[in-house]
Amino acid sequence: MTKTQKLLSLAIAIFLLLDITAGIVLLVNKDKSAVRLVCGSENTNRLFALDSAASKGTIKEDGYANFKFTKAQKEYFYKTYRENGTVALTVCLQLMPTKKQMELLNSEEEAIFRYGFLGNEDFNIEGKFLKKKYPDTRRIQIQGDEKKAPELFDVSFAVQKNENIEKYAPEGFFIYSSIRCRIVAACVVPAEVGFDVTKEIPFYGFACNGGVVDFERRSFDFSGCSMVFPVQSNTKQTMPEYRVMLSENSENKSTREHSVRVQMNVGGEKLYINNVNAAREIIIPAAALNTPFSRTELAENADCVESLIMRGTKAVASEEGEILEPIRTDPGLILNYKTSQWRTVDYEIYEWDRFPQILFFDTRNYEVQDRLFRRLAFFVEKQGYKGRLLTNDELGDMHGYNAHDYSAQSMANFFNKATELHFQLNEEELLLKRILIHNGLLDDDGFYVKANEGGLVSISRETPGWSRTNLLAHEGWHTIFFRDAEFRNYVSAVYYTFDPTSRDFLIDYFKSQPSLGYDINDEYLMHNEFMAYIMQQRLSEVANYFVHLANRGTVIKFTPDLAAYVRKTEGRGFEDAANALNDFVYDKYGIVCGNIALVNR
């Protein structure tokens, strides 16, 4: 063979080899879809295509795309469920109507999309897709009006909860579209049900009973969520939470003169959310509501809500069975939170949804509260006892407080003093220490603890309801004082500039009440209590409250002249101070005297 013939033969051989290789690749990948399934932050792999539309990832018009999961992809469903307690498949859709289809969208004809799961019944024993059984109008699915849909959106379908999740996980899924539609990607994620248009791609999630997408976001049916999330809170599980994201549109925000409240009707129960500039995200625990798994309507100011999502929580007991993780919530939902949904018999822990590391303890009675906080109360605040660790015998039957508040620093001092003196704390106090470390109020340095930001509030169910409301506000203001230096400085300025005679009366009032036992020489404490006593009731009630104090027999006996002065001036000095404080906290936090909550029933 000549050199030219040899080169020609080599070229033909290479061509044949490439052709055969390409054929093998095409054969191997003939059922691989252009659509990828995202499993985790980086792991992506192609879905199995059951038809040409699924292979290309595009539906031309009035048709279906059917996909099947590989064994590895199904394993990721199981893994996600075991780690999170829920699992869902989110699919990203892009509507790309042709010029002719645009006419359809502008007509009165129906234009819909559907999304549903494929199960074992959709395949024969050899695993072949049974098109003749499909579509089934009785099939549970999600559907929506493409005329109202955005061009690009995510739609998510949750899998029913079950310990044997392998039997409930889908074999695949389908998408139907009236117009040209691209299936951009799919993702295995923990379940979230509701809508969220704050994201770059609008999101609509459904429970395992499917439903119809309301692109106008006026209502959502959460009834199927009982088949996805826990319906009872205990040491092993916690009910889910609603996350509400409020619009940042300044035109729809509350002002001092005009309140803009979202009315949220959950199964007939009405909640009112104050749409203030200072708040974006509101957390509502499902366990705080009477019928959380029901249709929810945004009856008033629906445009103020850009996201309404029900999602799972991880607030469960430690391996030792202790409740360390708090339930995030707005304080307005703590007072009437059902004790049947507490995760322990003796207490429940909450975290202020707007202020991380501010914890609220609600205890079954004063006895439980005392075991947790009484020794701490004497160590931190009680005049004549500050800085001392009292034994149980020394404490005897002395009273602490019906409500408590402590900064992270004061609690660190308490536990470090006990460590230094090898003082034996009781079991509840040691549990409190573990809770504080778990939630980041304290850092465990091995021997001592170090204080971080934050504070703690405690109230008790043994306190009458009318008093619990004031105490929650009183103690809640203390925790903001603990964590915000700007607020502390402002309180200090008001303390030293408001009516000095009224200030003298307040100090004498503290002296006249032995049960309080405040150390009046502690400037920090005096500023903190001055603020809280003023701000625990509504602005309109402040003057009358201090006149009421000035009418107490014990107060008149201790400081008759100052009590007479407050009665004569009708408490106006305190009212002036309250107005100044109220303006500051409303501008900064969106809350007011007498009410630290943004959610009210």
User: What is the C-alpha to C-alpha distance for residues 162 and 114, in angstroms, rounded to an integer?
Assistant: 25
The region of weakest confidence among 24-28, 114-118, 170-174, 208-212 is 24-28
Average model confidence (pLDDT) across the chain: 91
Share of the chain above pLDDT 90, in %: 79
Q: Cβ distance 308 to 244 under 8 Å?
A: yes
* 504 vs 510: CA distance, rounded Å: 10
Measured between alpha carbons, how far is 184 from 154 in angstroms, rounded to an integer?
10
**pLDDT at position 1:** 59
C-alpha span between 546 and 515 (Å, rounded): 18
Q: Give the Cα separation of 187 and 208 in Å (integer).
A: 16
User: What pLDDT, on the 0 to 100 scale, is given for residue 13?
Assistant: 53
Catalogue the E-assigned strands of 84-130: 88-95, 112-118
pTM here?
0.89
Nearest Cα neighbor of 581 from 542, 535, 536, 545 is: 535
Residue 549: pLDDT above 50? Answer: yes
pLDDT in tens, 209-247: 999 999 989 899 999 999 999 999 998 899 999 999 999
Q: What residue has token string 């899924």?
A: 173
Quote the tokens at residue 97: 């109507």
Token pair for residue 373?
Answer: 């906080």
Q: Which residue has the higher pLDDT, 405 or 8?
A: 405
What three-state secondary structure class fits 561? helix
The CB density around residue 538, as the number of other CB atoms within 10 Å, is 15
Extract the tokens encoding 192: 């979230």
Mean pLDDT of 100-108: 84
